[in-house]
Amino acid sequence: MPLEPAARPPTTLSGAFADLNPTVAVNGLIGFVFAATGPVAVILSVGAQGGLSESQLASWIFGSFFLNGLITLLFCWRYRQPLAFFWTIPGAVLVGPALGHLSFSEVVGAFIATGALMLLLGFSGWVRRAMQVVPMPIVMGMVAGVFLRFGTDLIDSLHKDPGVAVPMVLVFIVLSALPSLGRRVPPMIGAMLVGILAIVLVGRFAPDMATTAVLARPELQSPQWSWPAMLELVVPLAITVLVVQNGQGVAVLKAAGHDAPVNAVTIACGLGSMLTAMVGTVSTCLTGPTNAILASSGPREQHYTGGLVVGLLALAFGLLSPLFTRLMLATPPAFIAALAGLAMLRVLQTSFVTAFAGRFTLGALITFLVTVSDKTILDIGAPFWGLLAGLAVSWLLERQDLRATMAQTK
């Protein structure tokens, strides 16, 4: 399948400056801050669970922002649409349990293989058909299973460190309950600021800056190829990118009147995933939440300039990744747990609703239970077995749902 044509006439620097207005610029800033708060807390939480070093985490964050920021700039410029690329959060969550029995080199090898698979699907034009192979409720049953820990860690932080976590949750609730105020101060940003204030007031923020590098020094990772890592991670990672993340990103852009270039996006995710894997970063995706923010207000034909703002800010954040990593790691564990948990609440809610609101509910339940069990069989983690078990149960016991789904896709 050919790549979708670029916007005509081509974007120019003077045209981009003329299209940039305060509304879309602020949307770009908010979209970037969203990506740099809760989702980064997810990376740090996963990295801590998997025993990654601070330098490995800084390298991961460099790839997440700097390299994906370059892709964002290229696509927003070429297609004049708000096409922001970051990393798959569900995919990052999958990595945490995998690092319990796989080496980081094996995980990096799986990242590269996932990118190659997506690249093949992008050039073949099979993406839409590939999205239909696994029923969405079963996929979201797996996602709910891997995300559940963030919800329980949020509750645990309220018990272990109420002085930090409770103010964050209260501010998040207040800003979410008052939309007029929440538009001025997004709930996640408010929770982060209050958490930082609480940490400073109790005197628990003292990072050692003497040995901290300011500019990024990405660590090249040597991949190791292993069948257990491939079986456990490649298919679930590809599904989370193509179905969960890209599907959401394309949907929010379509709702705002944009026709996202699906083939080009898929190829970019494949190439981007292979490139960012070399510095230890999980797979690239077209982000849903950030693009939803970019397309939320302002003239539709000017939304792309908000994406350019996101891309430029991502470059700066990536270049300073060691500094930001040290600052975040110097905060109490409850701050990271609360921030990551709050960031995942809506995603966790959507996962449960999608998994159990319609068809394939039994298959989704089995997928969820097997995934939550976190049992490793043949050195392959629970998410893979959850998908396999859910599909088998649905094939045996929910054939009516399968027939109805197949009829809709014809």
- Region 42-48: what's the mean pLDDT? 84
Is residue 13 over pLDDT 90? yes
Question: Which structural domain range is residue 72 located in?
Answer: 13-159+216-346
Is residue 139 over pLDDT 90? no
Burial of 388 (0-12, 13-18, 19+ CB in 10 A): middle
More confident residue, 148 or 297: 148
Q: Which residues pair with 284 in a beta bridge?
A: 87
Q: What is the pLDDT of residues 297-331, one digit of tens each?
A: 788 999 999 999 999 999 999 998 888 877 777 78
Distances (CA, A) of 239 to 49, 150, 190: 23, 21, 32
- Residue 304: inside a domain, yes or no? yes
- Region 5-10: what's the mean pLDDT? 89
What H or E segment, with its residue span, contains residue 131? helix 127-131
More confident residue, 47 or 383: 47
- Looking at residue 271, its pLDDT comes to 96
% the chain with pLDDT above 70: 93
- Looking at residue 1, its pLDDT comes to 53
Positive or negative torsion for Cα 298, 304, 309, 310:
positive
**What confidence tier does 409 reach under pLDDT thresholds 50, 70, 90?**
low
- Burial readout 152-185 (b: 16 or more C-beta within 10 A, e: otherwise): ebbebbbeebeebbbbbbebbeebbeeeeebeeb
Dihedral in degrees, nearest 10, Cα atoms 263, 266, 270, 271: 60
Q: How many CB atoms lie within 10 A of CB 397?
A: 12
Between CA 334 and CA 326 the distance in angstroms is 16
- Residue 187: inside a domain, yes or no? no
- Residue 143: inside a domain, yes or no? yes
Query: What's the DSSP call for residue 65?
Result: I
Between CA 218 and CA 75 the distance in angstroms is 24
* Under 8 Å between Cβ of 218 and 63: yes
- Residue 113: inside a domain, yes or no? yes
% the chain with pLDDT above 90: 36
**What confidence tier does 133 reach under pLDDT thresholds 50, 70, 90?**
low
- Residue 80: inside a domain, yes or no? yes
Provide the number of structural domains found in the chain: 1
Between CA 321 and CA 60 the distance in angstroms is 9
What's 216-267 look like in SS3?
CCCCCCCCCCCHHHHHHHHHHHHHHHHHHHHHHHHHHHHHCCCCCCHHHHHH
Of 309, 346, 397, 390, residue with least CA distance to 69 = 309
- Residue 410: inside a domain, yes or no? no
- Region 380-405: what's the mean pLDDT? 84
- Residue 136: inside a domain, yes or no? yes
**What confidence tier does 106 reach under pLDDT thresholds 50, 70, 90?**
very high
Listed in order, strand segments (DSSP E) in 145-208 are none
- Looking at residue 112, its pLDDT comes to 96
- Residue 196: inside a domain, yes or no? no
More confident residue, 377 or 178: 178
Q: For 74-83, 114-123, 235-244, which range has the lowest pLDDT when averaged over its residues?
A: 235-244
**What confidence tier does 408 reach under pLDDT thresholds 50, 70, 90?**
low
Please state the length of the chain. 410
Is residue 201 over pLDDT 80? yes
